[in-house]
Amino acid sequence: MTTLDARAMGTAHVRIDAREKVTGAARYAYEQPVTDPLYLHPIQASIGRGRVGLFDATAAEEHEGVAAVLSHVNAPRLASTDDEELAILQSPEIAFRGQLIGVVVADTPELARYAAGLVHVAYEEEPCDVVLRADRDDLYEPESVNPAMPTDTTEGDPDAALAAADVAIDATYTTPMEHNNPMEPHATVARWDEDGGLTLYESTQGVYSVRNGVAPVLGIEPDRIRVISPYVGGGFGSKGTAHAHIVLAALAAWAVPGRPVKLALTRQQMFSLAGYRTPTIQRMRLGLDADGNLTAMAHDVVEQTSRVKEFAEQSATPTRNMYAGPNRRTSHRLAALDVPVPSWMRAPGVCPGMYALEAAMDELAVAAGIDPVELRIRNDTDVDPESGKPYSTRGLAECLREGARRFGWDRRDPTPGARREGGWYVGLGVASSTYPTHVIPGSVARIEYRDGGYEVRIGAADIGTGARTVLAQIAADALGLPIEAVHVDIGDTAYPRASVAGGSSGTNGWGSAIVETARRFRDQYGDSPVDGAAAEASAADNPDAERFAMQAFGAQFAEVRVDADTGEVRVPRLLGVFAAGRIVNPRTARSQFVGGMTMGLSMALHEDSVMDERYGHVVNHDFAEYHIAANADVGSIEAHWLDEHDPHVNPMGVKGIGEIGIVGTAAAITSAVYNATGVRVRDLPVTADKLLDVTGVHLRR
């Protein structure tokens, strides 16, 4: 595949929408101007399982300013209830605490919330089951794992190889339930038109994903739904698919003809209605021969899903292709519980799976007496062990070496607890990073010449990554123009279809469509187009996609300080080096890498959605108690990348960078904690109680 020459690409261009965002001119979903809106407040189940026995809305309905109250008794019937997460207000059955059981529509958001409190609900309660354990007798094997990968895989005889290994480890690692928590809450403005069409202003990672998700539920053709989302304040995966609140807004708008309705979920509501990362229990077994080569890998994962709808996270999949080795097994088992539906969260599957694999690699290095960087390099491979295909490029070893050089890895003392500065134990850790180079087919771009400029339109989403700017840079290079001559419109189903902003696939898919459209435009009109000249195309087929395995790689290094008396953990230094193809915009790329690494730090030390096993709800469901890494938690974070040229991935030579930054960070930090203290924490997050001896206030030794 011939890659695109870079002129605009590779420059640190300021975000095109920067001024609008910092001045407040950028309108997000809830801020869209609509005439005479009404406001919604959801009513949620306060039990973990059972059914609604009584829903008395009399007091709310009689209150001045209340336009409607809906429940399963009077809500419009949905055309399809196949997707049970979206099949709301159709039945009195309750599958999890926080499930939508009603909604109040009123003149103001304050009144809607007050009136919701006037509704009296009585329940027929049943015991709820929300506890994930590896020894449950009802674990089951899903047909596939996200998105459609084999649930289990076996190569060779890992059990025999483990038994014969010169060095082996067998350890279990756990990650808790975690919630995405973008800064902008999930929000919808819904308006039914007189002709029966529906307009949705939505905070989403994919306008077409929303349209295609809700159309069959509402029983209308997709092209009669227009979804508009020009600006999005973060998503981290939670806005990558349609959730129940969108259907709730559509039903409420249907109940008040001629009036648009507005809904913004509260932070607390997002903990039960917008997805989350499933907790995992991961047993890792690794074996080495006398030369330090991996001879066996077994990765068995237990996760939870909801009884309402299955989501099977692909957590064991990184073990299938990360390192060389002849014998490996991976498996996934699910427990269907009375909990909300889990969903995508930044680097789904790969992030928790690589935590377990990389933490186990550190334990293996310690057991074998091999430097952790050297162990990873020794087991590097140019061929994907799962598919047998050569990698288009694989910069893992170079990332590890360059990271070690920049970080000062040679100054690390391998003896745990050997380095102490004042009242702090100091340790260093390392982990590898990887993320597949996904492309979701079907994106289409349109380029039109008008009034001396070029308009590029595609229904893509910029969730804060800088996609609008990067796509303008790609279009400018593809057209042979300065970036100032190009204007990009995104975030609207009035524009050609585009894939979701997920899987680090956006720039790949959308950019490839823009490049192909630009080629057709120039072939047809040359350098002197007439006003109104236009071309439209989807991405050309990539013949190299079947010949090569394509992934981004990286290396993460962490310095950790642990207070010798209190067990407080600080991370003064993180450094990452990545091999992720061509970097289109260094300014926005650094932001993505640093943001991912910060989120990985948050995963390592803080994030834990605590489930009350009696009632089935997350008790720390706000920013007061669900701690996300803040400025005070973050010291020096450096993100570097290799100048990697990959002519096989796509015309731009890009691989996607939105998710690889979070992968491996937690393992690097936990390994640094071990190096600092000699305490091996296998259950995230790393908190002081896991480091302190319960018999006294001092570190376990």
Q: Which residues are catalytic?
A: 659
* Residue pair 449/487 in contact by the 8 Å Cβ criterion: no
- Residue 282, SS3? strand
- Please, what's the b/e burial string for 621-642 (b: 16 or more CB within 10 A of its CB; e: otherwise)? beeeebebbeeebbeebbbbbb
Strand (E) positions, 221-292?
Answer: 225-228, 261-264, 280-288
* Residue pair 341/245 in contact by the 8 Å Cβ criterion: no
173 contact partners, CB below 8 Å, separation of at least 6: 280, 282, 284, 355, 356, 359, 360, 682, 683, 684
Place of tokens 């609509």: 34
Task: Name the residue among 76, 78, 74 with its Cα closest to residue 87.
Answer: 78
404 contact partners, CB below 8 Å, separation of at least 6: 373, 410, 430, 555, 557
* Residue pair 316/331 in contact by the 8 Å Cβ criterion: yes
Q: Exposed (0-12), middle (13-18) or buried (19+): which is 34, by Cβ within 10 Å?
A: middle
Strand (E) positions, 128-279?
Answer: 153-155, 167-175, 187-192, 198-202, 225-228, 261-264
- Residue 354, SS3? helix
- Residue 483, SS3? helix
CA distance 554 to 576: 7
* Residue pair 104/85 in contact by the 8 Å Cβ criterion: no
CA distance 269 to 42: 9
Structure tokens at 126: 């049943």
CA gyration radius, the chain: 26
* Residue pair 324/380 in contact by the 8 Å Cβ criterion: yes
- Please, what's the b/e burial string for 232-270 (b: 16 or more CB within 10 A of its CB; e: otherwise)? bbbbbbbbbbbbbbbbbbbbbbbbeeebbbbbbbeeebb
What are φ and ψ of residue 283, in 5° steps? -95, 120
Place of tokens 């915009």: 585
For residue 558, the cross-strand partners are 429, 574
Q: For residue 685, say if its preceding peptide bond is cis, omega within 30 degrees of 0.
A: yes
CA distance 311 to 484: 44
CA distance 676 to 418: 7
Q: 552: part of which helix (H) or strand (E)? A: strand 551-563
CA distance 559 to 548: 36
Q: How far apart are the first and last CA of the chain?
A: 56
Q: Exposed (0-12), middle (13-18) or buried (19+): which is 51, by Cβ within 10 Å?
A: middle
Task: Name the residue among 575, 625, 621, 626 with its Cα closest to residue 598.
Answer: 575
